[in-house]
């Protein structure tokens, strides 16, 4: 490997600008797609990591089983007695139960249907910590707030939920009863959670008298040093006995926050993996294209190869020249592909945020950028390998004779 | 004359065999990917939409509005439909029959194993005959429900399999529903739809009297119209009645009247969007294959500069040269496409079969119609010609004198 060989390769690429350009184009398209897809996968991973850190890996949920969405099935629920029982189990630090039902919200002739949370004000701080939400406008709920509610993030904007934006002090109707908006929670990052409606436990009981003492959702945290997964097993065991249920026939389940995030992450990874696999097909095609270009180059330069060999070039020198050439094609494609991928992913992220999925944001760590360029370089060099071997094995005498 | 074009085009392709093959490989990988993905997506869409059994152009369903995800119809409703509404709807002009349907959740226990799921009600009397016909209910074991059945249940085909309770249920077995003993009177024949195959059906009175389902919280009202051509007018009449009954204005409805087709369409459009996204990613590889054709053709033009010069100097017109290269690139595209379709068919059906074995789900199906095959073939030909146009134009515009001189 020396400078002359590199210079010679680059000169050849420059001489066949159109062909080099088309080969680079074919590889950069695939790299663009892969870079953009992986950046979204990594972005979601990052989001979940921060969520686990901020909301805390020490959190656990107890929810009733049921058909359909947990907590929504009115035949299965948890009671205050269950909550008090779990609170006394060793290793449980904070605990709060929440009511959880579908609600009908009206604002100036418009109507929408979302979930209503009834929150226990004694444990409000803990509830907000568990959901990773804060009051960003107005105030939170206080003792005695019977006809006041706090809304999810998206209600503050036009055309997200209602045509008109809501503000603190607006009057709305929840299930036909008059309520006043006193505040808004911060953004969670998905349209369902950002459309939720929050009221006090007492207001909920007045609004849904038939569901008193039927909790859909219990949030708790483990004491420091207690393994959440082990605590989950312990709670399952004890609560089953307390509720008089047989093993395997529980009508509730306990899940640690970590498990939920892991399940969610696994699903996302599989989906993203499938998309990346499909995008990889285009790289195979690009690699065939590069191979084609390089075979043509070898054919065209048969005589040149003969001359080089005649003046003392060794097989390795010829091999290196052609592998280097195709590797350069790959690397240039990779660099441009990464740049384009960055643009595509950024636009995609902005579109997702506009649609309410601000958790779908791309991440661009350095190893993704370097990895994509290196990968592209390897695809290029790899595809050039067979043509380069053919070139290096040519007999100088035959090559010189070739016309 | 015209056959000459083809002869020359094929000969030059045959002369550069390696390059021709590599170019076609590029196309057929792309076509195979697109065909198999569209085929699998199509199959999945058909399988999923066929899960929703009640189809018919003379049926409407009425539901109270609410949160529509996370549960069966009616479960997220705020102001449920009342049971008197079914009778009132039935009296509307153009309505043949209307009846309330209840869907409730509970536990079902057999062989000491318990599952949680849904049960649906079957109305009594004449309405029973209508719904049995509407749902096309037939049993593979035992019999359908009768008016005098209490604590009796009709189960779907999946309950006969061993995997749910360790041993299959057959008719006349006893099961516990919410802890109460029920007799299985029959098993519905396999329909390939979860609404039936995993269905639990019981008489309306059993559900209300024994399982204590609230009679005044109807989940769905099913309506059969007399004349399917009048369905839109009847729908409007039902909406008017409900607005009056529930005291809401136009635009503020807290209920939905729709046909099963309309519900399916909204589901199908979501599935279609997902399929489209995947297809677009697969199309990238076809685009790359097209660039490969362009590259090959430019190289061919360059190599045959002298040949073109000679042809032109003995009288070939620009259009003839253009046609020559155009046919060549179109052929590359179409043959690549043909092989790609065969490969795509193998892939789609093979993957679907493997998927069914691995996941044990009948949902994974491939569906490839003639329209897809023909479309893919046409598309690959068009792709070949589009990416061949620029090189062919360059070839046709070569100046004969220059081309003769330029060649080595």
ipTM of the shown complex? 0.76
- Residue-level pLDDT at B114: 87
Q: Which residues in chain B have Cβ-Cβ distances shorter than 8 Å to A352?
A: none
Rounded to 10 deg, the angle between the A257-300 and A17-55 helix axes is 170
Portion 248-287 of A in contact with B at CB < 8 A: 248-249, 251, 275, 278-279, 281-282, 284-286
Contact A67 B65 (CB under 8 A): no
In B214-366 the beta strands, taken as DSSP E runs, fall at 220-225, 255-258
pLDDT value of position A385 = 93
pLDDT in the model for residue B339: 92
Residues B182 and B102 occupy one common structural domain: yes
The answer to whether B119 faces chain A, any CB pair under 8 Å, is: no
Does residue A358 sit in helix, strand or coil? coil
How many domains, chain B?
Answer: 2
Percentages helix, strand, coil for chain A (3-state, rounded to 5) are 55, 15, 25
Name the more confident of A70 and B141.
Answer: B141
At B187 the pLDDT is 92
**Would the CB atoms of A288 and B71 count as touching at under 8 Å?**
no
Range scoring the smallest mean pLDDT among A87-96, B65-74, B174-183: B65-74
Residue A279: which of B30, B75, B281 has the nearest Cβ? B281
A75–B105 C-beta distance less than 8 A: yes
Beta strands in B103-179 (DSSP E): 103-110, 113-122, 139-142, 152-155, 174-177
Q: B240-274 b/e with 16+ CB inside 10 Å = b?
A: ebbbeebeeeeeebbbbbebbeebbeeeeeebeee
Looking at B259, B279, B296, the residue that finishes a domain is B259
A-interface mutation test, from B39, B291, B293, B343, most A Cβ less than 10 A away: B291
Which stretches of chain A drop beneath a pLDDT of 50? none
- Distance CA(B326)–CA(B155), nearest Å, equals 63
User: Is the C-alpha dihedral spanning A318, A324, A330, A332 positive or negative?
Assistant: negative
Interacting residues of B177 by C-beta distance below 8 A, sequence separation 6+? B106, B107, B108, B109, B119, B153, B200, B202, B211
Among the residues of A179-256, which ranges form H helices? 201-207, 228-243
How far apart (Å, rounded) are the C-alpha atoms in residues B80 and B245? 12
Over range B274-291, report the average pLDDT. 87
Residues of the domain holding B126: 59-259
Single out the residue in B259, B294, B313 at which a domain terminates: B259
d(CA B137, CA B383): 50
Residue B152, SS3 per DSSP: strand
pLDDT band at B68 (very low <50, low <70, confident <90, very high): low
Sequence-distant (≥ 6) Cβ neighbours of residue A154 within 8 angstroms: A160, A161, A191, A194, A195, A356
CA–CA gap between residue A118 and residue A194 (Å, rounded): 16
Predicted TM-score (pTM) of the model is 0.80
pLDDT at B74: 62
> Distance (Å, rounded) from C-alpha A105 to C-alpha A112?
5
Residue B75 has pLDDT above 70, yes or no: no
Q: Cβ contact (<8 Å) for B254 and A111?
A: yes
Q: What is the pLDDT of residues B354-408, one digit of tens each?
A: 888 877 667 778 888 888 899 888 988 888 888 988 899 888 888 888 888 765 4
Q: Are residues B144 and B43 in the same domain?
A: no
Q: What residues contact A221, with CB distance under 8 A and at least 6 apart?
A: A56, A58, A59, A60, A92, A93, A94, A95, A126, A130
If DSSP codes are grouped into helix, strand and coil, which group holds residue A61? Answer: strand
Cβ contact (<8 Å) for A251 and B19? no
Q: Is the pLDDT of residue B19 over 90?
A: no
| B355 contacts chain A (CB < 8 A) | no
- Residue ending a domain, among B204, B235, B259, is B259
Q: Across residues B39-45, what is the average pLDDT?
A: 85
The answer to whether the beta carbons of residues A114 and A85 sit under 8 Å apart is: no
If asked whether residues B108 and B239 sit together in one domain, one would say yes
The residue among B68, B69, B53 whose CA lies nearest residue B194 is: B53
Residue (of B285, B282, B24, B286) closest to A282 by Cα position: B285
3-class state of residue B15 by DSSP: helix
Count CB-CB contacts under 10 A for residue A1.
10
How much of chain B, in percent, has pLDDT values that exceed 70?
95
Do B224 and B309 have their domain in common? no
- Closest alpha carbon within chain A to B73: A68
B207 and B335, same domain (yes or no): no
Distance between CA A65 and CA A253 in Å, rounded? Answer: 6
Contact, B238 vs B257, CB < 8 A? yes
């Amino acid at each position: 490997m020396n400078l002359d060989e590199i210079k010679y390769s680059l000169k050849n690429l420059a001489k066949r600008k159109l062909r080099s350009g088309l080969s680079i184009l074919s590889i950069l398209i695939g790299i663009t797609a892969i870079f953009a897809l992986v950046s979204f996968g990594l972005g979601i991973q990052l989001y979940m990591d921060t969520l686990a850190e901020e909301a805390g890996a020490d959190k656990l949920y107890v929810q009733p089983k049921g058909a359909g969405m947990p907590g929504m099935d009115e035949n299965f629920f948890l009671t205050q007695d269950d909550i008090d029982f779990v609170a006394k189990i060793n290793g449980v630090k904070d605990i709060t139960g929440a009511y959880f039902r579908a609600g009908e919200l009206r604002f100036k002739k418009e109507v929408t249907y979302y979930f209503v949370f009834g929150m226990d004000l004694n444990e409000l701080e803990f509830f907000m910590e568990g959901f990773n939400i804060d009051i960003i406008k107005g105030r939170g709920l206080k003792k005695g707030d019977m006809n006041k509610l706090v809304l999810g993030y998206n209600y503050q904007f036009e055309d997200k939920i209602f045509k008109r934006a809501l503000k603190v002090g607006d009057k709305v109707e929840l299930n036909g009863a008059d309520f006043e908006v006193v505040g808004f929670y911060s953004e969670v990052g998905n349209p369902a959670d950002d459309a939720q409606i929050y009221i006090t436990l007492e207001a909920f009981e007045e609004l849904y008298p038939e569901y008193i003492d039927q909790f859909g959702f219990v949030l708790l945290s483990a004491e420091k040093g207690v393994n959440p997964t082990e605590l989950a097993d312990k709670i399952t065991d004890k609560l089953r006995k307390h509720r008089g249920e047989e093993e395997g026939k529980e009508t509730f389940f306990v899940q640690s926050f970590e498990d939920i995030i892991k399940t969610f992450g696994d699903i996302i990874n599989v989906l993203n993996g499938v998309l990346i696999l499909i995008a990889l097909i285009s790289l195979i095609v690009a690699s065939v294209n590069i191979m084609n270009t390089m075979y043509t180059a070898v054919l065209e330069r048969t005589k040149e190869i003969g001359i080089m060999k005649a003046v003392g070039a060794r097989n390795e020198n010829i091999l290196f020249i052609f592998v280097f050439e195709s590797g350069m094609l790959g690397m240039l494609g990779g660099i441009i592909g990464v740049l384009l991928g960055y643009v595509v992913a950024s636009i995609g992220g902005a579109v997702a945020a506009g649609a309410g999925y601000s958790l779908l944001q791309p991440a661009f760590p350095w190893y993704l950028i370097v990895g994509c360029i290196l990968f592209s370089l390897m695809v290029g060099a790899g595809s050039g390998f067979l043509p380069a071997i053919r070139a290096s094995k040519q007999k100088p005498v035959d090559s010189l004779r070739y016309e | 004359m015209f056959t000459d074009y083809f002869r020359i085009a094929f000969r030059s392709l045959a002369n550069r065999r390696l390059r021709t093959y590599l170019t076609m490989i590029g196309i057929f990988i792309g076509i195979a990917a697109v065909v198999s993905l569209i085929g699998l997506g199509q199959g999945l869409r058909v399988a999923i939409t066929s899960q929703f059994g009640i189809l018919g152009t003379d049926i409407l369903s009425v539901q109270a509005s609410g949160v529509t995800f996370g549960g069966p119809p009616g479960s997220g409703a705020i102001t449920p439909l009342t049971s008197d509404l079914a009778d009132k709807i039935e009296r509307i002009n153009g309505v043949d029959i209307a009846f309330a349907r209840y869907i409730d959740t509970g536990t079902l226990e057999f062989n000491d194993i318990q599952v949680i799921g849904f049960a649906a009600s079957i109305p009594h009397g004449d309405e029973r005959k209508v719904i049995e016909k509407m749902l096309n209910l037939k049993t593979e074991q035992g019999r359908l429900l009768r008016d005098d059945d209490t604590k009796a249940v009709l189960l779907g085909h999946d309950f006969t399999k061993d995997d749910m309770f360790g041993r299959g249920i057959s008719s006349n077995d006893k099961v516990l529903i919410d802890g109460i003993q029920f007799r299985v009177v029959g098993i519905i024949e396999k329909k390939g739809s979860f609404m039936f195959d995993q269905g639990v059906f019981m008489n309306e009175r059993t559900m209300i009297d024994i399982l204590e389902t609230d009679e005044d919280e109807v989940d769905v009202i099913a309506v059969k119209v007399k004349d399917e051509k009048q369905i839109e007018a009847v729908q409007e009449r039902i909406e008017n009645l409900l607005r009056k009954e529930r005291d809401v204005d136009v635009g503020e409805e807290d209920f939905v009247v729709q046909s099963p087709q309309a519900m399916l369409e909204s589901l199908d459009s979501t599935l279609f969007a997902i399929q489209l996204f995947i297809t677009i990613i697969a199309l990238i590889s076809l685009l790359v294959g097209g660039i490969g054709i362009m590259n090959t053709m430019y190289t061919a033009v360059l190599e045959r500069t002298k040949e073109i010069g000679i042809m032109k100097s003995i009288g070939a017109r620009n259009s003839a040269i253009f046609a020559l290269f155009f046919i060549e690139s179109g052929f590359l595209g179409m043959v690549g496409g043909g092989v790609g379709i065969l490969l795509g068919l193998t892939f789609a059906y093979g993957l679907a079969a493997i998927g069914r074995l691995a996941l044990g789900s009948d949902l994974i199906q491939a569906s490839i119609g003639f329209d897809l095959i023909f479309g893919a073939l046409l598309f690959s030909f068009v792709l070949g010609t589009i990416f061949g146009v620029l090189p062919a134009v360059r070839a046709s515009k070569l100046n004969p004198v220059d081309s003769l001189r330029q060649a080595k």
